[in-house]
Amino acid sequence: MNEYRPGGFQILPPVVKNLIIINVLVYIASNFTGATISNFLYQNLSLYHWSSPFFRPWQLVTHMFMHAQFGVGIGLSHIFFNMFALWMFGNTLENVMGPKRFLIFYFVCGIGAAICYQSVMSLGTPNPYIPMVGASGAIFGLLFAFGYLFPNLMIYIYFLFPLKAKYFVAIYAAIELFFGLQGSPGDDVAHFAHLGGMLFAFILLRIWSMSGRNINRY
Show which residues are catalytic.
Answer: 136, 194
Taking residue 61's Cβ as centre, other Cβ atoms within 10 Å add up to: 14
Cβ–Cβ under 8 Å, residues 144 and 197: yes
Radius of gyration of the chain (CA): 17
Return d(Cα 191, Cα 195) in angstroms, integer: 6
Return d(Cα 193, Cα 118) in angstroms, integer: 8
Return d(Cα 42, Cα 149) in angstroms, integer: 35
Angle between helices 14-31 and 35-45 (to 10 degrees): 130
Which amino acid would we find at residue 155? I
DSSP code for 132 = B
Tell me which residue of 22, 102, 29, 28 sits closest to 64, measured CA to CA.
22
Question: Distances in Å between the alpha carbon of 110 and those of 12, 31, 192?
Answer: 21, 22, 12
Return d(Cα 20, Cα 112) in angstroms, integer: 20
